[in-house]
Homo-oligomer: A and B are copies of this chain.
Amino acid sequence: MITGVNYQDKISEFVVWAPLLGKISLKITAPLQRVVPMQRAQRGYWRVTLEGIGPETQYVYLLGGDRERPDPASHFQPGGVHQASRVVSHGEFAWSDSDWQGVALSEMIMYELHIGAFTPDGTFEAVVSRLDEIKETGINAIEIMPVAQFPGERNWGYDGVYPYAVQNSYGGPNGLKHLVNECHKRGMAVILDVVYNHLGPEGNYLRDFGPYFTDHYRTPWGEAINFDGPYSNEVRNYFIENAIFWFDYYHIDALRLDAVHGIYDMSAKHFLAELAERVEEYSSDRGRKYYLIAESDLNNSLMARPRDMGGYGVDALWCDDFHHSLHTLLSGERNGYYADFGQTRHFIKSLQEGFVYSGEFSEFRKKNHGNSSKDLPGDHFVVFSQNHDQVGNRMRGERLSSLVSFESLKLAAGAVLLSPYIPLLFMGEEYGETAPFLYFVSHSDRDLIEGIREGRKKEFERFGWKQGFHDPQGIGTYLESRLQWDRRHEGDHTVLLDLYRELIKLRREMKALSQLDKASCDVWEGEGGIVFMRRWAGDNHVMALFNFTRSDMETGPILRAGGWNKVMDSSDTIWQGPGALLPGQIKQDEGVKMRAESFALYQMRDPGGHKRIS
């Protein structure tokens, strides 16, 4: 059963789920007030069909006759989280993407952006005006941080309380549709971040309708959602229909499932397995693939395995271990969860397998962590050197550009884009944006605001950070976090942008780089800590070298056979580097020198023998 309002040809069907209420009425609040009793349907649903109720109509539900509540499946909250819901006429939007066939997951170059902070205006419309610049870099998939209606005008999006309603301050339903349509026109896919593990703390009226929540489990973000208790079928349905809703009404191509370790479900069929099954059916009906990408803290490869192998069948997982192993090598940081990383072998394992922790003891977690992802294909992992969490959960919200050298920024780009995984860039990363990305909210509840301030302060104190706290509620915190678009055209920033563009182009053009097959990828540590990565596909053989050390290093002998031509070297002066030491050609068994904090890419001249000397 699909809840919410289904509007077509001046007829609106209202459906709401409230299994334990004895009475529920629909109250039309505008343009003309009226109250209509809802009829009880099976399994706790209530419905009523009305004529002459159009997109200008606003409404609430009257619970038990008196309590006014917006629709849990509202498609639009023009006045915010505490006000009436509005009927949306989805049929009115003039889509021009009927030929759109999507972008294959394995070919995606993802770009995570926050609607509010991506442009000065902070709207969908303003994003459209920047799409050409993004596309020109080679990016073919934008990933939008959550847009479900949240309290106020400023929020990362994880405090959303109306999973079906597009944030009013971003431009509402039509704004998002326009953005998606414009992306599709440009050959770009749209990934939407959705939150199925909790609802935000302000404006969440779902519990007044029914048992959406459970106290069987405790989440860090508030009440756990009832995925496995009595009445959970309908709660699961609410979220599963939400996924389909984004594909169907907004032409979204893929969903990024936020923090699925917060989805507590002991059922014999896990919610994620049911969701993935439903999305597969939908894809099959539509004749093209819609994707599910999960963020999980559990390092459980089962999530991305086929369901007949006991898996959940999601298409890809965010790989935090890749980030942490790369970030620690680049920054030298070892606090918090970075304590579990920092050695070259961690980065090598992530390039080889995905998860670095595949059952080993984690000092940070004080327990064994994860299982093996060795046999998962490369297109089952999304990797990044930065993302909203890794930047924004630092007290000062520093991007990598404020933490490491320019040489290391290029090295980070190489590590991500030459990896056998799906790369994701965080907005602004491509030109080394220096503005922070801070945690910002705009709640109206004073206690809540104070609680958030104190909570984050405490969290930071655990990491030993005491100076430089930004007030999440302050508007300045948000304003500071916006991209500075002028930077793209300034000095080193332009050089970095060019380097990203070149790497993406190489990744597309070279078969050995575009084929995400871990079986044809060989990674090892050479002398002086240099990481060697060989990848091959057909007769295309490439070798990437990464020097994470702060010194120029001897590589030692490189290959048993074949000769190699250099394709790219981040230390080159054309990339504003100190000048390359690696030669343009490497002959058999030649030891060469490599610049500190650099990467290089070689291509085999004479494909044939491709054994390595370790």
Residue on B nearest A306 in the bound complex, by CB:
B310
Q: Which residue of B lies closest to A220 (CB)?
A: B216
B266 touches A368 (CB 8 A): no
Query: A23–B215 Cα gap in the complex (Å)?
Result: 36
Interface: A446 (CB within 8 A): no
Q: Which of A294-302, A400-408, A590-598 contacts B (4 or more CB under 8 A)?
A: A294-302
Q: For the complex, what is the distance from the CA of A311 to the CA of B302, rounded to whole Å?
A: 10
Contact between A268 and B300, CB atoms less than 8 A apart: yes
Interface hits, A212-233 → B, CB 8 Å: 215-218, 228-233
> Shortest CB–CB separation between residue A462 and chain B, in angstroms?
14
User: Does A67 reach chain B (CB closer than 8 Å)?
Assistant: no
The reply to whether A233 and B310 form a contact with Cβ atoms under 8 Å apart is no
With most chain B CB atoms within 10 A of its CB, the pick from A268, A300, A301 is: A268
Which residues from B are CB-within-8-Å of A216? 217-218
Contacts of A286 on B, CB cut-off 8 Å?
none
Rounded to whole angstroms, the CA-CA distance of A28 and B12 in the bound complex is 79
The smallest beta-carbon distance between A238 and chain B, in angstroms, is 13
In the complex with contacts A215-B218, A233-B361, A309-B309, A369-B266 CB distance below 8 A: no
Contact of A269 among B232, B309, B371 (CB under 8 A): B371
A272-310 vs B: 1/0 string, CB under 8 Å?
Answer: 000000000000000000000000001111100100011
State the Cβ distance, A207 to closest chain B Cβ, in Å.
17
Which of chain B's residues have a CB closer than 8 A to the CB of A453?
A: none
Q: How far is the CA of A39 from the CA of B448 in the complex (A)?
A: 47
CA distance A338 to B268 in the complex (A): 20
Given A266-B261, A266-B298, A269-B359, A229 contacting B367 (CB threshold 8 A)? yes
- From A216, A310, A369, name the one whose CB has the most chain B CB atoms within 10 angstroms: A310
Q: A218 contacts which chain B residues (CB < 8 A)?
A: 215-217
Contacts of A370 in B (CB 8 A): 268
A361 to chain B, nearest CB (A): 7
A34 CB within 8 Å of chain B:
no
* Contact present for A302 and B298 (CB under 8 Å): no
Q: Which residue of B lies closest to A358 (CB)?
A: B268
Chain B residue with minimal CB distance to A263? B266
| A264: Cβ under 8 A from any B Cβ | yes
| List of B residues within 8 angstroms of A302 by Cβ | 268, 310
Residues A267 and B298 in contact in the complex (CB < 8 Å), given A218-B215, A309-B309, A310-B309 = yes
Q: How far is the CA of A231 from the CA of B368 in the complex (A)?
A: 9
Residues of B within 8 A of A232 (CB): 367
Q: Is A560 an interface residue (CB 8 A)?
A: no
- Given A233-B366, A233-B368, 10 further pairs, Cβ under 8 A: A230-B366, A232-B367, A267-B298, A267-B367, A267-B368, A268-B299, A268-B369, A268-B371, A269-B368, A305-B310
Question: 20 A-B contacts, Cβ less than 8 Å apart?
Answer: A215-B218, A216-B217, A217-B217, A228-B367, A229-B367, A230-B365, A231-B366, A231-B367, A233-B361, A233-B367, A233-B368, A267-B298, A268-B299, A268-B301, A268-B302, A268-B369, A269-B359, A309-B309, A310-B310, A310-B311
